[in-house]
Amino acid sequence: MTVRLAVFDCDGTLVDGQASICEAMDIAFSQTGLPAPDHHDVRRIVGLSLPQAIRMLAPDADQALQVAAVDAYKRAYRTSRLEGRLEEPLFSGIAELIDQLQSAGWMLAVATGKSDRGLLSCLASHGIKDRFISLQTADRHPSKPHPAMLQAALADALAEPENTVMIGDTTFDMDMAIAANVRPIGVDWGYHTTQELTAAGAIAVATSPVHLGDLLK
């Protein structure tokens, strides 16, 4: 039987975590004495592993400051979660899309720049953690666009690249898909534009979860 695998990015694709990400980044940069990053720039790097994101936001800082900012971000994000202030709502229509895809026989996975703890907490809070056969994070792999996360998801699902799609909102997701020889599909409700996603190789860009479901029929 052919295994069809749909791999989702998390932030900007499944959930809208930009407010909490920007807040934690503001705190991290303030605590380490770095100039506050522009929130537009922060949204642009969502999806990368945290160390790589910090390097891009503070390229002139020395390595010690960059490492300190990474640690400060982790603390700020965890504190927000523990205090119940973390905002990571599912995008409207995503829960229904997950039901639809599973009913149609798709296996589902996640490949994200989040940490293991962050991803598990996020998915569990929405009651969807057990819907995914494979959860791949930056804790165990190089940052996107390296294909390692997708290769691990393929192995977990026993799926072939030609029967797999990578669904994401950034060019990092599209580049990763192409590196792993899977089909890249963009979504337009995240952090990079439709034009950028298409230029990066997206075979289609969904305008809503309903449209995405239609693309996968």
pLDDT values of the chain reduced to their tens digit, one per residue, 217 residues:
899 999 999 999 999 999 999 999 999 999 999 999 999 999 999 999 999 999 999 999 999 999 999 999 999 999 998 998 999 999 999 999 999 999 999 999 999 999 999 999 999 999 999 999 999 999 999 999 999 999 999 999 999 999 999 999 999 999 999 999 999 999 999 999 999 999 999 999 999 999 999 999 9
At 212 the pLDDT is: 98
11 annotated active-site: yes
Q: Helices in 83-204 by DSSP H: which ranges?
A: 94-103, 116-125, 148-157, 171-179, 194-199
- For the chain, the domains span 5-16+88-215, 18-82
At 70 the pLDDT is: 96
At 1 the pLDDT is: 80
9 annotated active-site: yes
**How far are the Cα atoms of 42, 63, 163, 204 from residue 93, in angstroms, in the given order?**
25, 41, 24, 19
pTM for this entry: 0.95
At 136 the pLDDT is: 98
At 137 the pLDDT is: 97
Tell the CATH topology of 18-82: DNA polymerase; domain 1 (1.10.150)
Reference 14, options 209, 159, 158, 171; nearest CA is: 209
* Catalytic entry in 11, 16, 169, 173: 11
Q: What is the pLDDT of residues 176-188, one digit of tens each?
A: 999 999 999 999 9
Beta bridge partners, 168, equal: 186
CATH superfamily name and code, 5-16+88-215 = HAD superfamily/HAD-like (3.40.50.1000)
Beta bridge partners, 136, equal: 111
**How far are the Cα atoms of 49, 61, 90, 191 from residue 125, in angstroms, in the given order?**
22, 35, 10, 23
Cα(1)–Cα(23) distance, rounded to whole angstroms? 46
- Residue at token pair 């499944």: 14
**Which two tokens mark 31?**
């605590």
Label the pairing between strands 164-168 and 183-187: parallel
With a CB cutoff of 8 Å and minimum separation 6, the contacts of 38 are none
122-158 burial, b at 16+ Cβ within 10 Å, e below that, comes to: bbeebebeebbbbbbbbeebebbbbbbbbbbbbebbe
